[in-house]
């Protein structure tokens, strides 16, 4: 009898120990997810801005496979036995969670029932209701680099059908607008197919990625660049990724027409006409890869036209030893201020109209508050620019007008969505509410 009890304990005790360890780890995991979810709700960061997972709780087993599959880390978590988005605004639509779910409990959607996302209407080939006018990349709601490259390639393939229709000899087969991931892929594909095409960019190579702070990590996964080959990057810096794209452009011999901001797209009897501020391009097809940011939002104050005012931080090193003011309270403004504060001799002032950085990620808030506490940067809350002068900035504060000596101003207050431009081009727009 005693030997049977001993034998039973021999098996039960290890099992109980294993179960206890599992239960403790699961409890900690759930507690962490609850904390992250609470932080997101307290900060108002609950509405995903791009493609994201929608989880069916009736099918979810709470196994955590989706949590582990996400390459961005801690975007999903387990809460009350089910998978949830604990950092909604950080999700960029990888889709790895959907692929990993054993119960098919996840689908990828745009928008939520509380906040709709406006996107251009397009078919499976990314062609809009305007014949020959295609959209690809971030403007469609897809924020992932891999998705953008795939879309740009597919859209150009479909657009190439218009090149076979003939017509005027001086007309381009395709005009590609934007040189982010989607625009680069479309351009490389057009070059591979031997089309007569033009690639236009209002700023510089890289699209949204080019405007990340220096050294920011960009997550991507293996993808095929037309005419270049497989790009097998898993985790890389912004600089390395842009170098790779520049290499692809050089090897393909692409000619990018920069500083060409498109103001209108019109239809004519032979196809489309793309109007920039300085040129006109007749084409049979257009692939729009302009991103969702559109044009930077402006302050609307005197002196904003000065050369010292820019709307994105491209390279923090160029501001070394200067007095720089960053205007804005979101993650882009805070990350820019952090990058600038790391430069030798740079005096940074972060100006925001609100009383707290409620829209920013907790980690960014903590970092900038720590820098402000040790005088690495000057944090100016409840302040708005009143006038920008050649050697200073006048701020409107609760205590009245305050003038700050200044060499450069970086405005990071978001961008105007290109919805109006799309509508003026004849493209139908729909609002997605979690669809």
| CATH code, domain with 80 | 3.30.70.20
pLDDT tens sequence across 367-393 = 999 999 888 899 999 999 999 999 999
Q: Of 109, 140, 172, which residue constitutes the final position of a domain?
A: 109
Tell me if 281 is assigned to some domain.
yes
**CATH code for the domain of 123:** 3.50.50.60
State whether 159 and 30 are in the same domain.
Answer: no
State whether 395 and 422 are in the same domain.
Answer: no
State whether 126 and 267 are in the same domain.
Answer: yes
For position 94, what pLDDT does the model report?
A: 73
State whether 169 and 36 are in the same domain.
Answer: no
Q: Is the pLDDT of residue 191 over 90?
A: yes
For position 3, what pLDDT does the model report?
A: 59
Q: Round to whole Å and give the CA distance between 93 and 90.
A: 9
Q: Round to whole Å and give the CA distance between 22 and 295.
A: 51
State whether 276 and 130 are in the same domain.
Answer: yes
For position 220, what pLDDT does the model report?
A: 56
Three-state SS string over the chain comes to CHHHHHHHHHHHHHHHHHHHHHHHHHHHHHHHHHHHHHHHHHHCCCCCCCCEEEECCCCCCCCCHHHHHCCCCCCEEEECCEEEECCHHHCCCCCHHHHHCCCCCEEEECCCCCCCEEEECCCCCCECCCCCEEECHHHHCCCCHHHHHHHHHHHHHHHHHHHHHCCCCCCECEEEECCCHHHHHHHHHHHHCCCCEEEEECCCCCHHHHHCCCCCEEECCCEEECCCEEECCCEEEHHHHHHHHHHHHHHHCCCEEECCCEEEEEEECCEEEEEECCCEEEECCEEECCCCCCEECCCCCCCCCCCCEECCCCCHHHHCCCEEEEECCCHHHHHHHHHHHCCCCCEEEEEECCCCCCCCCHHHHHHHHHHHHCCCCEEEECCEEEEEECCEEEEEECCEEEEEECCEEEECCCEECCHHHHHHCCCCEEEECCC
Per the CB < 8 A criterion, the answer to whether 321 and 328 are in contact is no
Band the pLDDT of 164: cuts 50, 70, 90.
confident
State whether 22 and 95 are in the same domain.
Answer: yes
Tell me if 300 is assigned to some domain.
no
Strand partners, 271: 268
* Mean pLDDT within 19-38: 69
Number of domain units in the chain:
3
Tell me if 303 is assigned to some domain.
no
State whether 145 and 241 are in the same domain.
Answer: yes
**How many helices (H) and strands (E) would you count in the chain?**
9, 28
State whether 213 and 79 are in the same domain.
Answer: no
Angle at 117 between CA 116 and CA 118, to 5 degrees: 120
Tell me if 302 is assigned to some domain.
no
State whether 358 and 340 are in the same domain.
Answer: yes
* Mean pLDDT within 305-325: 90
Tell me if 304 is assigned to some domain.
no
Angle at 358 between CA 355 and CA 359, to 5 degrees: 125
State whether 163 and 32 are in the same domain.
Answer: no
Band the pLDDT of 214: cuts 50, 70, 90.
low
pLDDT tens sequence across 165-184 = 766 678 999 999 998 889 99
Q: Which comes out higher in pLDDT, residue 267 or 230?
A: 267
For position 236, what pLDDT does the model report?
A: 66
Per the CB < 8 A criterion, the answer to whether 226 and 188 are in contact is yes
Give the residue from 127, 106, 123 showing the smallest Cα distance to 56: 106
Give the residue from 156, 116, 115, 151 showing the smallest Cα distance to 133: 156
Q: Of 83, 109, 135, which residue constitutes the final position of a domain?
A: 109
Q: Round to whole Å and give the CA distance between 406 and 392.
A: 4
User: What is the token pair recorded at 138?
Assistant: 């971030």
Tell me if 127 is assigned to some domain.
yes
For position 358, what pLDDT does the model report?
A: 72
Tell me if 301 is assigned to some domain.
no
Q: Is the pLDDT of residue 71 over 60?
A: yes
Band the pLDDT of 32: cuts 50, 70, 90.
confident
Per the CB < 8 A criterion, the answer to whether 390 and 307 are in contact is no
* Mean pLDDT within 242-253: 89
State whether 288 and 318 are in the same domain.
Answer: no
Q: Of 79, 109, 139, which residue constitutes the final position of a domain?
A: 109
Q: Give buried/exposed letters for 313-346 (b at 16+ CB in 10 A, else e).
A: bbebeebeebbbbbbbbbbbbbbbbbbbbbbeeb
State whether 100 and 125 are in the same domain.
Answer: no
Q: Which comes out higher in pLDDT, residue 106 or 113?
A: 106
pLDDT tens sequence across 129-159 = 999 999 999 888 776 778 889 999 999 999 9
Domain interval for residue 385: 309-415
For position 409, what pLDDT does the model report?
A: 96
């Amino acid at each position: 009898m005693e030997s049977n009890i001993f034998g039973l304990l021999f098996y039960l005790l290890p099992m109980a120990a294993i179960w206890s360890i599992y239960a403790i780890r699961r409890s900690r995991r759930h507690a962490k997810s609850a904390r992250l979810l609470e932080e997101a709700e307290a900060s108002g960061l609950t509405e995903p801005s791009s493609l994201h997972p929608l989880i069916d709780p009736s099918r979810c087993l709470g196994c955590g496979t989706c949590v582990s599959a996400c390459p961005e880390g801690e975007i999903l978590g387990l809460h009350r036995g089910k998978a949830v988005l604990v950092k909604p605004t950080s999700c960029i639509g990888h889709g790895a969670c959907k692929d990993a779910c054993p119960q098919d409990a996840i689908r990828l959607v745009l928008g939520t029932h509380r906040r709709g996302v406006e996107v251009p209407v397009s078919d499976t080939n990314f062609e809009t209701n305007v014949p020959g006018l295609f959209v690809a990349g971030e403007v469609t709601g897809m924020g992932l680099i891999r998705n953008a490259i795939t879309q740009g390639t597919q859209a150009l393939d479909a657009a190439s059908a218009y090149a076979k229709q003939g017509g005027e000899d001086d007309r381009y087969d395709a005009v590609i607008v934007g040189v982010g991931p989607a625009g680069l892929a479309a351009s490389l594909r057009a070059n591979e197919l031997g089309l007569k095409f033009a690639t236009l960019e209002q700023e510089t190579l890289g699209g949204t990625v080019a405007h990340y702070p220096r050294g920011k990590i960009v997550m991507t996964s293996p993808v095929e660049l037309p005419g270049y080959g497989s790009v097998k990057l898993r985790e890389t810096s912004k600089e390395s990724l842009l170098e790779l794209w520049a290499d692809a452009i050089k090897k393909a011999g692409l000619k990018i027409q920069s500083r060409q901001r498109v103001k209108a797209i019109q239809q004519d009897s032979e196809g489309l006409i793309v109007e920039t501020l300085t040129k006109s391009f007749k084409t049979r097809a257009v692939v729009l890869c302009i991103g969702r940011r559109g044009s930077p939002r402006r302050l609307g104050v005197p002196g904003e036209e000065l050369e010292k005012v820019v709307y994105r931080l491209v390279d923090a090193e160029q501001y070394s030893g200067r007095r720089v003011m960053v205007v804005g309270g979101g993650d882009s403004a805070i990350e820019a201020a952090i990058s600038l504060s790391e430069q030798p001799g740079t005096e940074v002032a972060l100006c925001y109209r609100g009383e707290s950085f409620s829209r920013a990620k907790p980690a960014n808030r903590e970092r900038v508050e720590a820098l402000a506490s040790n005088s690495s940067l000057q944090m100016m809350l409840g302040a708005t620019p009143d006038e920008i002068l050649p050697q200073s900035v006048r701020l409107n504060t609760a205590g009245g007008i305050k003038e700050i000596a200044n060499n450069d101003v970086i405005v990071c207050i978001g961008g105007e969505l290109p919805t109006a431009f799309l509508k003026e081009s004849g493209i139908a727009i729909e609002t997605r509410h979690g669809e």
